Structure 1
Amino acid sequence: MHRPLTVEHLGQLNLFTRSFDAELERQQDVFGARILRRWEDGRAGSRNALALIGRTGIATYAPATPGGPVAHEFTGNGLGWDSVEWSVSSVKDAAASMRNHGFRVTESADARAFVNPEDMHGLALVLTERRDETHDRDLAGWKPNFWSDEHPLGLLGGVTVKVVAAEPEKAAAGLAALVGREAYAVERKHVNMAGHGVRFGDHAVEFVGSTTGSEADLAGVALAERGERIFCLTFTVRDLLAARAFLVGRDVPFEQFGRYSLLLAPVDAGGARIEITDVG
């Protein structure tokens, strides 16, 4: 029996976009994101930013020069949500634990480990010991209740990462065994999705597929066109009607699915989808 991988917390979600300024504007204007820092990486050929929405960190990357490593990512993985970054106490021990569970892991010189997303049914994982600014609760002016009590969207709790997968139950069972947690079943009838997930302290991961088996609904189209990968981030809000009114007032484009879910149009076609819902 292999020891489970201990995940300390969600470090950040990594996002690749062409429209750097437009993406950050959406994060700020729609979600009240706090931009913690911006920087350029000459070696990667990228413009980067780290933002905080509630308790969720989002790192945004865009190519600054053609032919650089980040521009190459666009060729390999395309736009949108790229990976989930988990904070662990020891990358070396975490990588060993992953390998003991049968996952392929590549360690880098900057003390990070990358898990092959094919082994995780489309969930790309990055393991790091780094404690990002998103987890410094002494940030000047940081108020834990801003997004729930003051921001018009009324964001509650942690984020859910939805991953489209060919075998959601098998995918969630593998993740649950890896981290020593229970898997749960979920049905999202309003978006014709069903699957299984695993909850952590500050986020959840759900592997979902089409309830109808069709390639014409959200999960079916995503799986057929891009394969197993992160489909969207889902934020829970207190009052969906109030959130909808806020989005309409800001001229934010979205699709509505029943009375339970709003799916915001990505800044880039095929890019980062964000769902808001009042269904926990």
Structure 2
Amino acid sequence: MQFPLVHISWALADNAARPACDAFFQDVFGAETVFEMLVTPETEHYGFDREERLMMIGDAMIIPIAPAGGGAQEGSPLGDMLRRSAAPMRWIGLALKTTDLKAADDWFASRGFKRHYDRGMEEHYFLVPRGQVMGMRLEIVKQDMPNEPRIRPDWSPARWRDAHPLGIEGLQAVGISAPSLAEARELFAGKLEWPEIAARGEGDAHLAAFAMGDTVLEALEGAEGSPVADHARDVKGIYHLVFKVKDAASAASYLRGKGLTLIGDVSARFAIAPGEAQGRLIWFTETTPGGYPEVGSKLGEVAGG
């Protein structure tokens, strides 16, 4: 069963930090806001416990989330989760799209996954807690996100490729740190039935790539003492994102012009130093590894849930 990617989310411990985080993506990536949830006097009666901005970067939706309203108080389930999850190199997880929530629930149940339903949201989504997916929470959603642009027949991510200096063509992969590739294969190719499409060395790690809906999940097993191995032991979950760009040298020149420090190899794969990228590792490459599909969201093909 294939589930197109809806969004990638991570947590901020303090809502005061969210504007700077959002501004980073708007300034550096040309992120486009499609919706912002705010706690205001007009929305207070809804009981919101967070604030968040839904931002598009090419065909990918990124959502930094911070506790607010009732979530700012200790003891709030959502607020406490966000505070626990807010740390450098830590992400919440992925949301994946389904048009039939009951069938998706049955599919995950048949593979031994426990599902969690937030009260009142039983018809809209369920969660597969992060402890079952190597520290990456999965949210299986039926409803479309507010103002979802990718379901519109006239929507195109081409402006990020053609008009923005980064030249982003699309999201190529999401990386996750794994205790071992054997465990990753058992989980992703086995239980989740995401076909393995590539395997290679990547820096100080071994990598196995799996076809996950309309993007790629890269599982990395790091050498002992490496950042990847430390992440798999201490942080867990999503380790990086990879964006495909039209011209790597031009993208690197633009980022350096912003005063950002780059790591990696521009001719292969390079990133903004995580300390200058909101504590997350985001790679860029102009190459498509063997076996990988061309980038491009398929969300519009399963719209209207």
Q: Same fold (TM over 0.5)?
A: yes
Partner of 1:24: 22
Which secondary structure does the structure 2 equivalent of 1:13 belong to? strand
Structure 1 position 180, deviation (Å) = 4.2
Report deviation, 1:225. 2.8
Q: What is the CA deviation profile of residues 150-174 of structure 1, one whole-angstrom value per residue up to 9, with x for unaligned ones?
A: 2111112334110001023432443
Does residue 119 of structure 2 align to residue 106 of structure 1?
A: no
Instruction: Give the alignment partner of residue 192 of structure 1, picking from 201, 204, 213.
Output: 204
Q: Secondary structure at the match of 2:112?
A: coil
1:11 aligns with 2:6: yes
Quote how far apart the aligned CAs of 1:83 are: 0.9
Write out per-residue CA displacement over residues 84-108 of structure 1, whole angstroms, 9 at most, x where no aligned residue: 0001012222111101011121123
Offset of residue 209 of structure 1: 1.4
Q: Is the 8 A contact 2:249 2:266 kept in 1?
A: no
Question: Matches of 1:71 and 1:106 in 2, distance apart?
Answer: 17
Is 1:34 equivalent to 2:42 in the alignment? no
The TM-score normalised by the length of structure 1 is 0.85
Q: Equivalent residue for 2:64?
A: 60
Summarize the Cα distance change of 1:66–1:248 in structure 2 as closer, same or farther, 3 Å threshold: farther
Task: Confirm whether residue 147 of structure 1 aligns to residue 155 of structure 2.
Answer: no
Q: Per-residue CA shift, 1:35-94, capped at 9, x if unaligned?
A: 111112564532211011111111221123242444312443333421100010122221
Give 2:62's aligned amino acid. I
59-68 vs 11-20, which deviates more? 59-68
Aligned with 1:231 (options 236, 239, 249): 239
Q: Equivalent residues in 2 for 1:150-161 (5 A)?
A: 150-161=163-174
2:94 aligned to which of 66, 77, 84: 84
Q: 1:192 to 1:33 in 2, by over 3 A?
A: same
Aligned equivalents of 1:151, 1:82: Cα separation in 2: 28
Is residue 275 of structure 1 aligned with residue 297 of structure 2? Answer: no
Q: Residue 171 of structure 2 aligns to which amino acid in structure 1?
A: G
- In structure 1, list runs of 5 or more residues that go unmatched: none
Contact 2:158–2:169 (CA under 8 A) maintained in structure 1: no
Corresponding residue for residue 222 of structure 1: 231
Instruction: String of CA shifts for 1:204-228, please: whole Å, max 9, x gaps.
Output: 1111111xx221x3312322331x3
2:251 aligned to 243, 257, 260, which one?
Answer: 243
Deviations 1:253-274 (A, max 9, x none): 3323474222223468984321
Paired residues of 1:16 and 1:82 also in contact (CA < 8 A)? yes
Shift of 1:277: 2.2
Identify if the C-alpha distance between structure 1 residues 40 and 266 changes in structure 2 by more than 3 Å, giving closer, same or farther.
farther
Q: Which residue is equivalent to 2:152?
A: 137
Residues 13, 269 of structure 1: alpha-carbon distance in 2 compared, 3 angstrom cutoff: closer
Report if the CA contact (8 A) 2:60-2:170 is conserved: no
| Partner residue of 1:93 out of 100, 103, 106 | 103
SS of residue matched to 2:21: helix
Which shows bigger deviation, 153-162 or 40-49? 40-49
Contact 1:173–1:183 (8 Å) recurs in 2: no
Q: What is the alpha-carbon distance in structure 2 between the residues aligned to residue 181 and residue 256 of structure 1? A: 28
The correspondence for 1:182, drawn from 195, 204, 209, is: 195
Q: Do residues 209 (structure 1) and 221 (structure 2) align?
A: yes
Higher normalized strand content (fraction of residues): 1
Asked whether the 8 Å contact 1:155–1:238 carries over to 2, the reply is yes
| Cα distance in 2 for residues equivalent to 1:71 and 1:200 | 29
Q: Is the alpha carbon distance of 1:166 and 1:180 closer, same or farther for their aligned partners in structure 2, counting shifts above 3 Å? A: closer
Equivalenced residue count is 268
Counterpart residue type for residue 203 of structure 1: T
Counterpart CA distance in 2 for 1:269 and 1:250 is: 12
1:138 is displaced (CA, Å) by 4.7
TM, length-normalised to structure 2: 0.78
Gap runs ≥5 in structure 2: 289-305
C-alpha RMSD of matched pairs (Å):
2.5
